[in-house]
Structure 1
Amino acid sequence: MRKLFLLFIVLFNYTLVKAQEQFVVYFDSNKHEVNNIENRKLQDWISLNKDSKIVAINGFTDEDGSNGFNDTLAKKRVDFIFNQIKDKLKIREDFKTRSFGENFNQSTDKSLNRKVTIYYILLKDLAREDEILGIKKEVVIQPKKEIKYPEKLIFDNPNGTTSEYVLDREFMKKVGEAQVGEKLKMDNLNFRINTFIVNPESRGKMFELLLVLQKNPNLKVEIHGHLCCQPIDRVDLSTQRAKAIYNFLVNNDIDKTRLSYKGFGSTIPIYALPEKDETQRAANRRVEILIVSN
């Protein structure tokens, strides 16, 4: 019981320090109503603090009388003050009154022990209310709902025909669930030789990325273009290829603020130049997606 009481006093002192503002009302011996002088002080304080907010009211007594009597008296003093202010000042919704009876550090002057202390926050500090009281808001992170992608997609081609494309749903899921800073390669996205025109059989890859962006409105990406073979990208082809993907997405109503693009030429190869075979050249000749926000 003693340990519990000491903990309670520590918590009280913490509130005392953090709340910053306090007002004290004193009582006559064995009284739970204030005298005329203290009542006038209380009413004046109420008038001056219409915009303040009460966060705690603590009641105390001197050591005269039994513990039970003093605990009851302290509670009555708290109730009296609370009834005086409840319709005049703002009070926290989770407001709780506290009464300490004689169980606190007593002053040698008994008159200073018969009191109620009101803790409050001024208008200028209300925006910091939880911070002042040491209250940390619980952040609830909602789990991201799993997105169901279709197995196939039918889209129109520039020549007027249509194509049926089997979607790589595993790749789409990876992009949609990727962490910020993660890079993902768009496999099988190929261009005509020495151009930024996407091969017809690779157009489905662009639709995969488009569909992921449509289904994940918070997703932002940066499109990276890379080349093989030549150490110098003289015509900036890697940037043009990255921009081609960017333009496709913008033309299909993806907001520009969610997209950006860069070309790196052959400066970040997977395999050292010159490559040994077509497998290595194909690996270096790639488009990657950098997750900027998700």
Structure 2
Amino acid sequence: MKIASGMRSYCFALLMTVCCHAARSQQTTDTLLVRFDFNQATLTKPATATLDSFLQLNPLAIITRISLAGHCDFVGSHHYNDSLSQERVRTTRAYLEGKGCSPALFGQEAGLGKRQPLELTTTDAARATNRRVELIFGKQAPVKATVPPREAQVVPVASAASSRLSDMIKDSSVKVGSKLVLPNMNFEPGRHFLLSGSFGILRELYRVMKDNPTLQIEIHGHVCCMSGGVDGPDVDTGAPDLSVQRAKAIYDYLVSAGIAAQRMQYKGFGSSQKLFPEERTSLEETKNRRVEIKIISK
């Protein structure tokens, strides 16, 4: 009897572990950035448009938690910037609560001042990038059929996120005309602003261009959530040219960092070249919001 009772307890514990793991596997996260004007904690129109766009795409019923971290540029003292970043967090939270987000959803909140910049340079563009609130949304992923996605257009050489871009370029299989999907370079929904995790690969692309002075590339922008090749509307420009603006954002960054403009071109392809045509999950949408580079000359 003791053995049977012990076995029942073991099976129950195992069942609970499996159930908890399954519940966790249905949880996803999205990171969103909203930007601020210099020395301001008031949300700009583009910032509110970003938040509104996210909430339209993600019903409140699936959002399980929200974490916020405020940041500033390098101008001013730590004391002042800590206070300003905290005020930016409070402003952002108040806006979300006004849109129906329950106070119970909000978890960690931090004002980090100027301690965690995305950009280390002192240009106006770099400072604007650092003035932000980062929001991490926990979401309950909808249960969908596990049909294998079609990935016919993924370039094998770039499929591994661990591959270094410099190694890809040097690879003898990467020839003129090859396209490389840049890993971890993704955008905010409806905008041509990069998610915070994308700046590492962007800086690596800059180093590759600098270390390979004969390299010429074409930058390709792509969007999600549209069909028939249609381009998406850009929240900030108000025009249906989101994929073009995303490619141009990379181009502008490289030019501002000192890469010669004549070594690069940029194009937008709208929704005509999706990696995941049916977009069954938010992860697939994120991967369709991407930038590729095409090798023009090595």
TM score, norm. by length of structure 1: 0.43
The structure with the larger Rg is 1
TM score, norm. by length of structure 2: 0.42
The structure showing larger relative contact order (alpha-carbon pairs under 8 Å, at least 6 residues apart) is 2
